[in-house]
């Protein structure tokens, strides 16, 4: 079995951008084909483990919880669930961190996609999560499940829509129609979750309520939702400069009516943009999401920025500073709390979040999320 240090050392001898594209695709394919080569039990040095812990607290704890318990925000899954961590191969876990889940609050954290983490950071974090879970690895078969997706659709509608949504888009549970999820989840991985549920979550086992045939059909239906996806990093846009932070610098100040002295309805913000009002818009999601699509004029101030840097370049006068995220409040609340602590008064959070902004037809730059 190859050690993690072997793969990590390769990063020093290849061009980073080219290497990252090729490395992820080749390694992921390699790991899927050979269960013994998933390096999921690779050792971690004390330094790597400490760095992984710090990265988890900085980037992951907001949604997954400080103790990996899940549901801290946006119904993020528990990362200490034995059912999940025992069956999720290292490559699958790393891909989820690196490339995220399009159309969900789980953003891409890979630097080539505009995120804050290198490939080594991501694999170190994935290995640390596997170790911390204490789960014994279960090697699942790689063969496809033989089931009827048409019949499985009926099983899905009867048993899964309340949490996963009628179109498997995810409500209080993960989006099963997500292309990034289906690109790496094997049939047996999906079936195992249905049969055994996910401990430490609301996902109950169905082994007593559904027959094996029904579960196979349900698995086949979920697999049929695959739409095709590849983790290809995109060309990144340059970040705005401090002199560009204020939208409509010569405009008048908007008169926002806040809810609970904190939240502003998105309709008010959209109207203020239309009328050319002066304000600063903060996109507090992961920077990769800002590259993907954002509200016109918004600048990336991600939730994981440190307090000593959060206000760099921001005007501390009567200018309104409006933050938004996808959660719709967790990340933006964190940033606004930091700014208010520093004495910024005219601050607020878009109440409905970015996905509802898109669904309402309000303007964005960069196209809809993939």
The pLDDT, as a whole number, for residue 18 is 40
Q: What is d(CA 140, CA 192) in angstroms, rounded to the nearest whole number?
A: 9
The pLDDT, as a whole number, for residue 230 is 66
Strand partners, 321: 280, 347
User: Do 132 and 204 meet the contact criterion of CB atoms below 8 Å apart?
Assistant: no
Read out DSSP for 221-255? HHHHT-------PPPPPPPPPGGG-SBSTTSPPP-
Count of CB atoms situated within 10 Å of the CB of 40: 24
User: Do 370 and 108 meet the contact criterion of CB atoms below 8 Å apart?
Assistant: no
Residue 342 scores a pLDDT above 90: yes
Domain ranges (residues) in the chain:
4-133, 149-224, 242-359
DSSP assigned state of 88: S
Residue 41 scores a pLDDT above 70: no
Tens digit of each residue's pLDDT (9 = 90 or more) over 252-261: 999 999 999 9
Q: What is d(CA 194, CA 149) in angstroms, rounded to the nearest whole number?
A: 15
The pLDDT, as a whole number, for residue 369 is 44
> Is the fold of 4-133 the same as that of 242-359?
no
DSSP assigned state of 78: P
What class does CATH assign to 242-359? alpha beta
Q: What is d(CA 128, CA 60) in angstroms, rounded to the nearest whole number?
A: 13
In this structure, CATH architecture of domain 149-224: Orthogonal Bundle (1.10)
Tens digit of each residue's pLDDT (9 = 90 or more) over 87-107: 999 989 999 999 998 878 899
Q: What is d(CA 248, CA 322) in angstroms, rounded to the nearest whole number?
A: 14
User: Do 116 and 302 meet the contact criterion of CB atoms below 8 Å apart?
Assistant: yes
Tens digit of each residue's pLDDT (9 = 90 or more) over 204-239: 999 999 999 999 999 999 999 987 666 666 678 889
Tens digit of each residue's pLDDT (9 = 90 or more) over 316-338: 999 999 999 998 999 999 999 99
CATH superfamily for 4-133 is: Cytochrome c-like domain (1.10.760.10)
For residue 91, which of 36, 137, 27, 9 has the smallest C-alpha distance? 27
């Amino acid at each position: 079995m190859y050690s993690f240090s072997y793969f990590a050392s390769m990063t020093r001898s290849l061009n980073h951008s080219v290497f990252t594209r090729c490395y992820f695709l080749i390694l992921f394919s390699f790991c899927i084909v050979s269960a013994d080569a998933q390096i999921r039990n690779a050792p971690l040095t004390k330094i790597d483990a400490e760095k992984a812990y710090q990265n988890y607290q900085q980037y992951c704890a907001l949604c997954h919880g400080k103790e990996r318990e899940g549901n801290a925000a946006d119904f993020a899954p528990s990362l200490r669930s034995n059912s999940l961590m025992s069956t999720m191969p290292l490559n699958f876990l790393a891909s989820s961190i690196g490339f995220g889940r399009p159309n969900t609050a789980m953003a891409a954290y890979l630097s080539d996609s505009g995120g804050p983490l290198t490939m080594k950071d991501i694999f170190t974090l994935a290995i640390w999560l596997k170790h911390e879970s204490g789960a014994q690895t279960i090697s699942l078969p790689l063969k496809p499940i033989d089931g009827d997706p048409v019949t499985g659709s009926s099983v899905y509608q009867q048993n899964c829509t309340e949490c996963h949504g009628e179109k498997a888009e995810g409500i209080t549970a993960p989006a099963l129609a997500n292309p990034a999820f289906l690109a790496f989840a094997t049939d047996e991985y999906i079936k195992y979750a249905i049969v055994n549920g996910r401990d430490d979550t609301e996902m109950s086992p169905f082994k007593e309520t559904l027959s094996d045939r029904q579960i196979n059909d349900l698995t086949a239906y979920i697999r049929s939702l695959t739409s095709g996806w590849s983790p290809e990093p995109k060309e990144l846009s340059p970040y705005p400069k401090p002199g560009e932070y204020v939208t409509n610098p010569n405009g008048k100040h908007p008169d926002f009516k806040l809810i609970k002295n904190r939240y502003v309805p998105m309709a008010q913000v959209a109207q203020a943009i239309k009328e050319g009002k002066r304000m600063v818009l903060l996109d507090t999601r992961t920077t990769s999401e800002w590259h993907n699509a954002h509200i016109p004029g918004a600048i990336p101030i991600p939730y994981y920025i440190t307090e000593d840097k959060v206000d760099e370049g921001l005007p501390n006068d009567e200018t309104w500073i409006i933050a938004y995220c996808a959660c719709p409040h967790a990340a933006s609340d964190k940033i606004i709390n930091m700014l208010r602590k520093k004495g910024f008064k005219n601050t607020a959070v878009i109440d409905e979040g970015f996905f509802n902004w898109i669904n309402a037809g309000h303007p964005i730059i960069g196209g809809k999320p993939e």
